[in-house]
Amino acid sequence: MKRMVLIGFLLLSLVLVFCISKGTSEETSGPSYVGSKKCKACHKEIYKSWKETSHVGAFETLSDSNAVENKDCLPCHTTGYGKDGGFVDTSSTPKLVDVGCESCHGPGSDYKKTSIMKDIEKAKAAGLVIPTEETCTECHTKERSPNFDFKKYKVEGIHEIPEAEE
Ligand code: HEC
Ligand code: HEC
Ligand code: HEC
Ligand code: HEC
């Protein structure tokens, strides 16, 4: 009987230790979303042409549909909803409405510094995403975007790609 109690106690402490370590690892959360205006400082032309895309109307689309309170819609019509440091609501994270830069390029808090940005490998290590078709199809699912065609959609859906970089 004593043996059982001892084993029970040991198991319980194991579970406790596991929970505590899990708790702390969740507190040291990763990068957060800073909003597209932060990227504008250094990527003006891209920012301007992104502004022309329909991604910038994505949140207004929800208010037109009376759906801004509908959490089912937010993951695709805002930046980072449901992810660490992403959109929460219009009063606490107004900069993260719409499909912003970071919806495709990943949360920017850790890569937006010049010293990191100019070294692509460092930037990627800090969370920068070079988007591929899969980045789009997280939102452009067959259901929501039946006509999605990466090549075509890329032309008007993203932003200009500066000539010199081609
Ligand atoms: C302090 C200036 C600065 C800020 C702020 C900044 N960038 Fe950059 N970014 C650069 C520089 C410099 C480069 C490297 C040269 C280039 O490609 O323009 C770069 C490159 C990039 C690249 C191209 C990587 C490659 O080589 O293919 C992407 C994508 C990018 N930035 C996205 C962003 C996003 C998204 C934000 C906002 C979260 C952001 N940047 C904020 C300066 C900045
Ligand atoms: C976070 C979700 C999300 C991601 C990621 C995303 N999109 Fe979108 N996209 C949307 C939403 C939402 C709309 C509709 C916006 C509106 O009209 O309100 C849209 C609209 C578009 C449109 C306009 C379609 C039309 O019928 O006018 C194009 C083009 C487009 N996206 C291309 C892309 C491409 C290319 C990628 C990947 C590089 C991409 N999108 C990634 C959510 C996303
Ligand atoms: C899985 C991602 C996703 C979810 C969830 C989602 N949408 Fe969308 N929505 C999109 C994409 C992508 C488009 C653009 C489709 C296209 O044109 O190819 C879009 C387009 C729209 C459009 C048409 C915009 C226009 O100007 O033509 C409306 C309206 C809309 N969504 C409303 C909603 C509402 C309301 C909800 C929640 C009930 C919702 N969406 C949930 C991804 C999503
Ligand atoms: C809908 C998705 C999407 C959004 C939103 C988006 N981008 Fe991009 N971005 C891409 C794709 C796709 C590429 C091309 C990647 C490739 O194939 O090289 C790209 C390329 C870039 C590049 C590299 C250009 C080069 O010289 O090769 C920079 C810098 C960049 N984006 C910055 C931004 C900034 C800043 C914003 C917001 C103002 C933004 N992006 C918004 C999808 C997006």
Residues 6+ apart with CB under 8 A from 87: 33, 74, 78, 79, 80, 81, 93, 96, 97
First and final C-alpha spacing in the chain: 74
Candidate from 51, 56, 97, 159 with most ligand 4 atoms within 8 A of CB, to mutate? 159
Distance CA 108, CA 99 (A): 14
The ligand placed nearest to the CA atom of residue 123 is 1
- Structure confidence at residue 26 (pLDDT): 44
Distance 148 CA to ligand 2 centre (A): 9
Candidate from 32, 34, 36, 42 with most ligand 1 atoms within 8 A of CB, to mutate? 42
- Residue recorded with tokens 């937006």: 112
Q: Which two tokens stand for residue 41?
A: 């400082």
Inter-residue contact 44 to 64 (CB < 8 Å): no
| Ligand 2 surroundings by CB, under 6 angstroms | 54-55, 57-58, 61, 76-77, 99, 103-104, 131, 135-136, 138-140, 153-154, 156-158
Interval 118-158: pLDDT, tens: 999 999 999 999 999 999 999 999 999 999 999 999 999 99
Q: Which two tokens stand for residue 109?
A: 């808090």
Q: Taking the CA atoms of the chain, what radius of gyration do you get in angstroms?
A: 21
**Neighbour tally for 62: CB within 10 Å:** 20
Pick the more confident residue, 2 or 163: 163
Interval 133-142: pLDDT, tens: 999 999 999 9
- Residue recorded with tokens 């510094």: 113
Distance CA 122, CA 11 (A): 42
- Structure confidence at residue 8 (pLDDT): 56
Distance 83 CA to ligand 3 centre (A): 19
Q: Which two tokens stand for residue 160?
A: 């200009």
pLDDT tier at 22, thresholds 50, 70, 90: very low
